[in-house]
Chain A
Amino acid sequence: MLENIGRKLIFPIDFPSQKRTFHLQSVILLISALFASAFGFFTQSLLNLLICYAAGVLITMLLVVPPYPSYNKKKLQWVKPSMTNSSMATESGKITVESSGEDIIIVQ
């Protein structure tokens, strides 16, 4: 039960997006850190610096953390299995196996 819930809360994104979000994150955080320091220095206020940097971190979180649909467009395409049920049936000759879902019906 809990495992199922945990599996649904992973929210994965595709590989190119993972690379892109990581790059985005480090660039935005560095820029906001430098900008916040400069802003705080020129206004001579540590509180301004903290607010500015917190805003930067929040923006980064909003851009990077949620699994937006655009981050899932290039999902990895797995190779489909070439062996099908019908080919198995021709090899065995007499017995044909049809599978629909999890139930297996044997027809003679």
Chain B
Amino acid sequence: MYSINQRFSTVANQSLSYGLLIIAIIVGTSYYQLQSSNAFNNLITIGNINPTFAIRTSRYYGSTNGKPKENVKLTFDLDTDLTSLFNWNTKQVFVYLVAEYKGQKHPAISNTVTFWDKIITTKKDAILHLVNEKGKYNVWDLEDKFQNRDLEFSLHWNLQPWVGPLIYGETVGNTSIVLTKPEKKKKKNTGQEESVKENASVDE
């Protein structure tokens, strides 16, 4: 503390050290807020899941060596309230609709695929009320077909805070459904044509 340099650097150092204390307080209080607002047990209802199947032969849709691969896309309804995830330390929340299913050849193995996701940045957008929402992603399995699989849907979230570690969680209320082909719609043929066209363009 003798010279002006030393006084400046000790103040700067100590203020940074107490910055660590502030960080610890922020992380602790925001986690406590999540716990007390019951954020880890948000209820959800997923329903009206309608799969559409398409046979793809492009390798961008999972096909290997031109072997056709069945792709699934979904439309679904979803209702949940994730406002309890938003407190002073929340930057944004990444929510993703996940389906878990067992392998056909190896039932002990559990697979997880993501059909849809969304980034929520404000508390207003955290109330999700989706009707006939289209799934974002084409999904395929290691095996050729996705039909007649028993899928268990759940909504996961990943909270990205301003300060501190990422927090992962899951909403309560899973929906199980067996994916079957809708009998009225015969979109399989058109899907095939599309995929054939895509495949041709890729080969060029």
Q: Which residues of A contact B (CB under 8 A)?
A: 9-13, 18-19, 21-22, 25-26, 29-30, 33, 36-37, 40-41, 44-46, 49, 53, 57, 60-61, 64-67
Q: Which stretch from B14-22, B144-152, B176-184, B191-199 is at the chain A interface?
A: B14-22
Q: Would you mind naming 28 contact pairs between A and B with Cβ atoms under 8 Å apart?
A: A9-B4, A10-B3, A10-B4, A18-B1, A25-B10, A25-B14, A26-B14, A29-B15, A33-B18, A33-B19, A33-B22, A36-B22, A37-B22, A37-B26, A37-B29, A44-B87, A46-B89, A46-B162, A49-B22, A53-B15, A53-B19, A57-B11, A61-B8, A61-B11, A65-B4, A65-B7, A65-B8, A65-B11
Task: State A22–B88 Cα separation when bound (angstroms).
Answer: 33
On chain A, the residues within 8 Å of B19 by CB distance are 33, 53
Task: State A67–B25 Cα separation when bound (angstroms).
Answer: 34
Residue B2 at the A interface, CB < 8 A?
A: yes
B7 near A21 with CB under 8 A, answer yes
A45 near B15 with CB under 8 A, answer no
Please give the distance in Å from A21's CB to the nearest CB on chain B.
6
Q: Assuming the A-B contacts A11-B3, A25-B10, are A41 and B29 also in contact, with contact meaning beta carbons closer than 8 angstroms in the complex?
A: yes
On chain A, the residues within 8 Å of B15 by CB distance are 29, 53, 57, 60
Q: Which residue from chain B places its CB closest to the CB of A60 in the assembled complex? A: B11
On chain B, the residues within 8 Å of A40 by CB distance are 26, 88
Task: State A31–B80 Cα separation when bound (angstroms).
Answer: 42
Task: State A9–B8 Cα separation when bound (angstroms).
Answer: 13
Q: Return the CB mask of B1-44 against A: 1 if under 8 Å, else 0.
A: 11111011011001100110110011001000000000000000
Q: Which residue from chain B places its CB closest to the CB of A66 in the assembled complex? A: B4
- A-B residue pairs, 9 tightest by C-beta: A18-B1, A33-B18, A11-B4, A44-B88, A10-B3, A37-B25, A57-B15, A65-B7, A22-B1
